């Protein structure tokens, strides 16, 4: 290992940046996150550095570099863009054994500036020794998606309670077990959600609990929406919870690509439902969630789309709360918006549709009892979930209430996935379209003038079949 990673305390230290270039501005921007006193030496400044100069901890010296600029300096960065100037800065700094960095020239630098993920006071640094900066950037971007935005708040919260934990819990082993439980438990999750009051109350209970109770912690449940199926559409929080879960209880409509994002050693329990084939009843699922949480597990209840839009998330949340289980809800991109975007269909449009309505096309007794008169209203988009088996009847009822038989429709099958299909037609043809194209779920029915946009805006990878 050529480079030894370390973190430099720059409180009240003088840092010298030579140059007024855009590269110099990037380094100054990084240094501004610290408590250092930053001196910029350059005859002229670029636009970004000019805005920084004279504000906060940045002072500009409008002249060329001089050897005495190194007096009293703790760290040096050369980014003038002139090889001769930067080389001279490097030689003089090395002679004084000062850490020096020449931007994009690791061979002339005594240290390199890593890619950083900043969750102050938690900082993650990534470096490749200057050999693959693009790879470093990609790694940083990936780590950013996995770390919660309030991770720094969690570290500060834990630091606040360190004296109390040390006083109440004897021995390093005991304290290590305590902190292990804390960072994986519901108190830490409350901090990450910004619920400081609940977290503080829970922490006091945790600190004052008997050590023997730490071995059987209370778990929690997260109702997580996985979106329409494309893993790239997962939220940061969904991805983090899936990586931290002990148990993932998932629906049939959750795609294989989404499940690939789950922590590899997590237990996976499928509880999928399909028409006429329920592997587990809703009551059984509710009991399973409580059972797993009471066993101390961090449980993710993974649902297609959004948990609160035809996902029975409200029923599960109420059941868990009634049984004293901590529960959080992580919204997902619902099928309507995800499939519409993938097919290039704007659900609302200033000139065409001023409202959008989501409805279900299936119930245990057949077609649900909906307000068909309201659903047939003009200047709106109607999105029907679970409507494949009742497509012909849905079209008939809408036409009976006055919606034109020529109203454009679109059926989006497996929206956002590689084998997505977008089928366009008109309302009177809906039932026949579903039958002759052998449409399989998951699919949504979209009814309204905006669906005509699919014909010209659908992505190239989607199959657009116009059955007009």
Q: What is the pLDDT of residues 12-61, one digit of tens each?
A: 999 999 999 999 999 999 999 999 999 999 999 998 899 888 777 899 99
Closest CA to 454 of 444, 464, 442, 439: 464
Q: Which residues contact 466 (CB under 8 A, 6 or more apart)?
A: 424, 425, 455
Q: Which residues contact 315 (CB under 8 A, 6 or more apart)?
A: 282, 286
Tell me the range of 85-99, 276-290, 293-307 where mean pLDDT is highest: 85-99
**Sign of the dihedral defined by the CA atoms of residues 136, 139, 145, 148, in that order:** negative
Q: Tell me the pairing of strands 408-413 and 421-426.
A: antiparallel
| % the chain with pLDDT above 90 | 64
* The CATH number fitting domain 14-113, selected from 2.70.98.10, 3.40.50.720, 3.30.590.10, 3.40.50.300: 3.40.50.720
> Mean pLDDT, the chain, as a whole number?
88
Place of tokens 């066993």: 295
Residues paired with 446 in a beta bridge: 383, 410
Q: What backbone torsions phi and psi does residue 17 show, to the nearest 5 degrees?
A: -120, 120
> According to CATH, what is the number of the domain 336-466?
3.30.950.10
Whether the predicted pLDDT of 279 surpasses 80: no
Half-sphere exposure of 49 (CA within 13 A, CB side): 28
Confidence at 461, pLDDT banded by 50, 70, 90: very low
Domain extents in the chain = 14-113, 151-215, 220-330, 336-466
303: enclosing H helix or E strand:
strand 298-303
- Find the DSSP H helices in 46-194: 47-52, 83-95, 133-146, 151-168, 172-184, 186-192
User: Does 27 qualify as catalytic in the annotation?
Assistant: no
Q: Considering only CA atoms, which of 275, 270, 459 is closest in space to residue 364?
A: 275
Task: Examine the residue annotation and report whether 369 is marked as an active-site residue of this protein.
Answer: no
Distance CA 420, CA 412 (A): 7
Q: Per-residue pLDDT for 448 more than 90? A: yes
DSSP at 261: T
Instruction: Count CB-CB contacts under 10 A for residue 274.
Output: 10
Express each pLDDT in 360-401 by its tens digit. 998 767 788 899 999 999 899 999 999 998 999 999 999 999
Fold exhibited by the domain 151-215: Helicase, Ruva Protein; domain 3 (1.10.8)
Instruction: Render pLDDT for 170-207 as a digit per residue (tens, 0 to 9).
Output: 888 778 778 877 887 888 988 998 998 989 998 988 88
Q: SS3 breakdown of the chain: % helix, strand, coil, rounded to 5?
A: 40, 20, 40
Which helix (H) or strand (E) is 224 found in, with range?
strand 220-225
- What pLDDT, on a 0 to 100 scale, did the predictor assign at position 459? 41
| Structure tokens belonging to residue 380 | 């709106």
Q: For residue 385, give the H/E element and its range.
A: strand 380-385
Listed residue (170, 193, 196) closest to 178, CA to CA: 170
pLDDT band at 403 (very low <50, low <70, confident <90, very high): very high
Q: What is the pLDDT of residue 91?
A: 96
Polymer length in residues for the chain? 468
- Copy the structure tokens of residue 7: 């973190």
pLDDT band at 142 (very low <50, low <70, confident <90, very high): confident
**What pLDDT shows up at residue 238?**
92
What pLDDT score does 252 carry?
85
Q: Domain 220-330's class?
A: alpha beta
Give the CA angle between residues 319, 320, 326 to the nearest 5°: 160
Please tell me the distance from the alpha carbon of residue 202 to that of residue 225, in angstroms, as a whole number. 27
pLDDT band of 465, cuts 50, 70, 90: very low
pLDDT of 314 higher than 70: yes
How far, in Å, are 142, 395, 400, 430, 448 from residue 405 at the CA level? 49, 8, 10, 10, 11
> Catalytic: which of 153, 251, 306, 429?
251
* Candidates 82, 118, 273, 432; catalytic one: 273
Strands 380-385 and 14-18: unpaired
Residue 277 in tokens: 């084939």
**pTM of structure:** 0.66
């Amino acid at each position: 290992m050529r480079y030894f990673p370390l973190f430099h305390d720059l409180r009240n230290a003088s840092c010298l940046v030579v140059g007024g270039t855009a590269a110099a501005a990037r380094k100054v921007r990084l240094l501004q996150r610290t408590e250092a006193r930053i001196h910029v030496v350059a005859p002229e400044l670029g636009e970004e550095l000019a805005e920084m100069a004279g504000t906060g901890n940045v002072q500009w010296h409008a002249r060329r570099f001089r050897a005495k600029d190194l007096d009293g300096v703790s760290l040096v960065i050369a980014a003038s863009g002139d090889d001769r100037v930067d080389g001279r800065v490097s030689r003089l700094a090395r002679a004084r054994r000062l850490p020096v960095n020449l931007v994009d020239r690791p061979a002339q630098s005594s240290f390199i500036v890593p890619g950083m993920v900043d969750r102050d006071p938690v900082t993650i640094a990534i470096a490749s020794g200057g050999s693959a900066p693009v790879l470093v950037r990609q790694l940083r971007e990936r780590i950013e998606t996995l770390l919660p935005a309030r991770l720094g708040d969690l570290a500060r919260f834990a630091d606040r309670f360190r004296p109390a934990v040390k006083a109440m819990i004897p021995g390093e082993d005991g304290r290590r077990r305590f902190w292990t439980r804390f960072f994986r438990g519901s108190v830490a999750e409350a901090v990450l959600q910004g619920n400081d009051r609940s977290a503080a109350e829970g922490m006091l209970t945790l600190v004052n609990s008997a050590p023997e109770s730490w071995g059987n912690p209370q778990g929690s449940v997260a109702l997580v929406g996985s979106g329409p199926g494309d893993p790239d559409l997962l939220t940061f929080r969904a991805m983090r919870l899936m990586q931290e879960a002990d148990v993932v209880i998932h629906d049939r409509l959750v795609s294989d690509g989404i499940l690939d994002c789950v922590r590899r050693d997590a237990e996976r329990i499928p509880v999928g439902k399909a028409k006429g084939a329920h592997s587990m009843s809703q009551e059984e699922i509710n009991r399973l969630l409580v059972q797993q949480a009471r066993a101390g597990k961090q449980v993710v209840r993974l649902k297609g789309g959004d948990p609160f839009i035809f996902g029975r998330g409200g029923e599960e949340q109420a059941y868990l709360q009634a049984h004293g289980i901590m529960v959080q809800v992580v919204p997902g991109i619902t099928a309507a918006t995800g499939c519409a975007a993938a097919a290039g269909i704007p659900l609302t449009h200033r000139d065409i549709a001023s409202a959008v309505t989501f409805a279900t096309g299936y119930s245990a007794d057949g077609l649900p009892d909906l307000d068909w008169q309201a659903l047939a209203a003009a200047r709106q988009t109607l999105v029907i979930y679970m409507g494949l088996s009742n497509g012909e009847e849905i079209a008939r009822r809408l036409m009976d209430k006055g919606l034109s038989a020529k109203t454009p429709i679109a059926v989006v099958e497996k929206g956002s996935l590689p084998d997505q299909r977008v089928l366009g037609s008109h309302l009177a043809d809906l039932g026949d379209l579903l039958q002759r194209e052998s449409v399989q779920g998951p699919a949504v029915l979209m009814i309204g003038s905006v669906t005509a946009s699919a014909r010209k805006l659908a992505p190239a990878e989607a199959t657009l079949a116009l059955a007009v």
